[in-house]
Structure 1
Amino acid sequence: MEVERVQEIASLSNLKGTIPSEYIRSVDEQPATTTIHGVLLEVPVIDLSHPDPAKLVSSISEASREWGIFQVINHGIPNELITQLQKVGKQFFELPQEEKEAIARPANNEGGGVEGYGTKLQKEVEGKKGWVDHLFHRVWPPSAINYHFWPKNPPSYRKTNEQYTQMLIGVANKLLGFLSKGLGLEENAMKEGLGGEDLTYMMKINYYPPCPCPELALGVVPHTDMSSITILVPNEVQGLQVFKDDHWYDVAYIPNALIIHIGDQIEILSNGKYKSVYHRTTVNKDKTRMSWPMFLEPPPEFEVGPIPELINQENPPKYKTKKFKDYLYCKLNKLPQ
């Protein structure tokens, strides 16, 4: 079955200011009518080089309770490495189509994994599609990696992603430690509640080509992330929006910052104290937007539920304990949890 890629649709000269109807969102979803224009949402910015660990704990905890999203600066990952990560990802999407299709997510992958080059991810509501192509592959731990889904070109792709992953693990461990302490728990409580050293790092590259009708389309529809936390590098093209106080706002970008999303698994572990962020992405008329989210996920068979120390008579569990693979299946297929 020939899959239609958004990048190919966007390159067609016959679009002439239109897009196929399946990419046009309903009026109550269209960015033109649902975005608060001219206002950039200043989500919390946290300096990870701050000398007072208690201040970091309180800042990250507050941002995760109130916002579900924050940005970190002075995180220790060199700007040059982030630039190189962006470069090799962009080069992959500029390859000939047949070369990208060689690592496509297998068709008829019912209930299977998400790894590979692709376009559709979740069950599409009313047949509506997102204006985005993507690449997924696991980067950590080594036992979870399938190099078939890693691009062979450009040649430096693998080395760059491995270097970035190693530096990111240090940042992630710090963040999970601060999140644990913010709930009055031991530093390793969150990580252990997600599978400990088996915590899986899933890289995704989103590629949003220029769209003739950006006011009518969405890149990724409104959602919360299934992960524990998501650590995201954007390019310079505006696109991330967050739902706050019943409205959609563009998120202000900060060069070389990492954007941190609280995901569903942290909300579950914290028994609702931390909130997963409801967000979506818009597209641009003239420029290609790209982003590199890294999803930190429990192993498929690992059971995640509220941390026992946070449960008592006043705070009964608000979420079921279930295997991550079962949570994933329900979420991707829009089934109740």
Structure 2
Amino acid sequence: MELLSNAPAHHSVPDKYVFPPDNDECAALLADDYSPDVAFPVIDLHGHGGSDLPIISNGRRRQLASEIIRAGKEFGFFQVVNHGVGEGVVRRFRGAMEEFFAMPAEEKLPYCSYDRSKRFRLATGTTYDRGETSYWRDYIKFRCYPASEENARHWPSKPSNFTPSLMEYCAAVDELAQTILRLIAEGLGLDGSFFAGDLSGGDTHMSVNYYPPCPDPTVTMGLLAHCDRNLLTVLSQADVAGLQARHDGRWLLVRPIPGAFVVNFGHQMEIVTNGVLASVKHRAITNSTTTRMSVAVHPTDGCRIRPASEMVDDATNPVKYREFLFKEFMEAYDAADANSDQVLKSFKIHHD
């Protein structure tokens, strides 16, 4: 497998990464990502994440919950600052990831695979590459939390700080994710523990996306337009822009904020809330000057999904989706090549 990260620099875009001229995904890439009047919401958690959250006053909790729900309904995306995940924790883990991608090709080769049953795998492009065209990225996908012996034995031994920095990072980000899920539940009028248990238990998955500088960002894409599958995603994109999200028919850049995490909802959240909090399409573009690396944590899969009874009202918001196992949803998602609209059709209930 020839990885993009194996080359010290790219002076031209190889043919396999060049999209056809009439490809919609590459049309007007650079012209449609800027609007000075629109910015994705930034929510200040005031440094109280995870176990510290209960000491916040009831009024502040209600305010935070309300801000998250409002951001979710309007954008499906928001950023959080003062979230309790230490700057050093993030820096150490991102540093370990950068070292991994910088290793010689022969040292990375044992981890290269397109077999999605593997607990740790390194690959290039995406599972949903369009015909002969590949997306401009290398990526790692693996089960990152909890640090069970079964998961950990698949992690690489190099760099030496990979495992300790991963365990530190994942524990902190999982705590942040659980904090946000509790606030979402409260903001929806549900019990604060609604998303605990099966809905957010089990193994947490991580995607580390590596986008090297691209000689011509107008002819290729970093990652296809898609919606995430899980409840929510907590993303570190550091200080390099490249994430775009769909809003009011336009692609808008999710501009990096120092120390922030980007949070967005997935299909699982949309279905459980019966459409109240919708998943939003997003994609990654490339740039010609700087390597960009994003780290996405996706809590849970493998549970039974259905709209919460509290989110269903026969008169105003009738049930929109049937009950199913998340495994069934994953199969439909792959069969539809991540086409979000097509996927949801398989599970919608049509009212006469």
TM-score w.r.t. the length of structure 2 is 0.85
1:294 corresponds to: 297
1:308 corresponds to: 309
Report whether the alignment pairs 1:206 with 2:212. no
8 Å contact from structure 2 (residues 275, 320) kept in 1: yes
Deviation at 1:330, TM superposition (A): 1.5
1:177 corresponds to: 182
Higher relative contact order by CA 8 Å / sep ≥ 6: 1 or 2?
1
Deviation at 1:137, TM superposition (A): 1.4
Q: 1:55 to 1:71 in 2, by over 3 A?
A: same
Deviates more, 1:173-182 or 1:303-312: 303-312
Report whether the alignment pairs 1:53 with 2:61. yes
Report whether the alignment pairs 1:255 with 2:263. no
Q: 1:86 to 1:143 in 2, by over 3 A?
A: closer
Unaligned runs of 5+ in 1: none
Residue 18 of structure 2 aligns with an amino acid whose one-letter code is: Y
Distance 1:169 1:146 in 2: 16
CA RMSD of aligned residues (A): 2.3
2:110 corresponds to: 102
Q: 1:39 to 1:4 in 2, by over 3 A?
A: same
Deviation at 1:31, TM superposition (A): 5.5
Residue 147 of structure 1 aligns with an amino acid whose one-letter code is: A
Deviation at 1:325, TM superposition (A): 1.7
Distance 1:144 1:304 in 2: 28
Unaligned runs of 5+ in 2: 49-55, 338-342, 347-352
Deviation at 1:22, TM superposition (A): 4.2
Mapping for residues 117-132 of structure 1, pairs under 5 Å:
117-132=122-137
Distance 2:204 2:307 in 1: 21
Deviation at 1:215, TM superposition (A): 1.5
Q: Say which of 205, 217, 221 aligns to 1:218.
A: 221
2:35 corresponds to: 39
Residue 39 of structure 2 aligns with an amino acid whose one-letter code is: E
Q: 1:316 to 1:103 in 2, by over 3 A?
A: same
Q: Say which of 241, 258, 281 aligns to 2:284.
A: 281
Figure out how many residues of one structure are paired with residues of the other and give that number: 325
Runs of 4+, deviation exceeding 6 Å? none
1:74 corresponds to: 82
Report whether the alignment pairs 1:155 with 2:160. yes
Q: 1:9 to 1:28 in 2, by over 3 A?
A: farther
Distance 1:251 1:58 in 2: 21
Deviation at 1:9, TM superposition (A): 6.4
Query: What secondary structure does 1:248 align onto?
Result: strand
TM-score w.r.t. the length of structure 1 is 0.89
8 Å contact from structure 1 (residues 63, 70) kept in 2: yes
Q: 1:208 to 1:22 in 2, by over 3 A?
A: closer
Q: 1:114 to 1:30 in 2, by over 3 A?
A: farther
Distance 1:142 1:21 in 2: 37
Deviation at 1:113, TM superposition (A): 5.3
Distance 1:312 1:73 in 2: 35
8 Å contact from structure 1 (residues 34, 247) kept in 2: no
Distance 2:202 2:211 in 1: 29
Q: 1:324 to 1:168 in 2, by over 3 A?
A: same
Q: 1:145 to 1:224 in 2, by over 3 A?
A: farther
Distance 1:33 1:164 in 2: 33
